Amino acid sequence: MKILSITFEPSLIDSYSLIVTITGYCIVLMALSLIAWLFTRLHAIQDFLGRNRQKKEGLNEPQPAKPVITGEENAAISAALFLFFSEMHDEEKYVMTIRKVSKTYSPWSSKFYGIWNSMKHW
């Protein structure tokens, strides 16, 4: 049994291979750096684009103040939602039943016969 050995011979590397390799690594490194920078600055870019759009559409007027909801109102809303969702479903019994179903054998669903029939034609 012969085992193939792989050897590295630097004499087989020419200058064009080195140029292509270094250029490829530089392009990949620059692309990854650009993507990382874009992801870290995405919120600032989004805010800048949003402000420019608002200026173009003339939406710089002050927005009306949002109504303040008190703690009692929040408690009443959450209690109503809890009651609504708890009454939404009936209580069910958690009983699992297993029935054995006997199926008769059918060669129509057997892949074995399909394989042997196709091999007979070879």
Per-residue model confidence as pLDDT tens digits over 40-63: 988 888 888 888 777 777 665 666
Supply the DSSP string of 49-109, one letter for each residue: HHHHHHHHHT--SPPPPPPPPPHHHHHHHHHHHHHHHHSSS-----------------GGG
Say what the pLDDT of residue 16 is.
Answer: 92
What phi and psi, each to the nearest 5 degrees, are found at residue 56? -65, -35
Say what the pLDDT of residue 19 is.
Answer: 95
Q: What is the pTM of this model?
A: 0.36
Say what the pLDDT of residue 85 is.
Answer: 82
Which residue numbers in the chain have pLDDT < 50?
A: none
Distance (Å, whole) CA 84 – CA 78: 10
Say what the pLDDT of residue 11 is.
Answer: 86
SS3 5: coil
Say what the pLDDT of residue 23 is.
Answer: 97
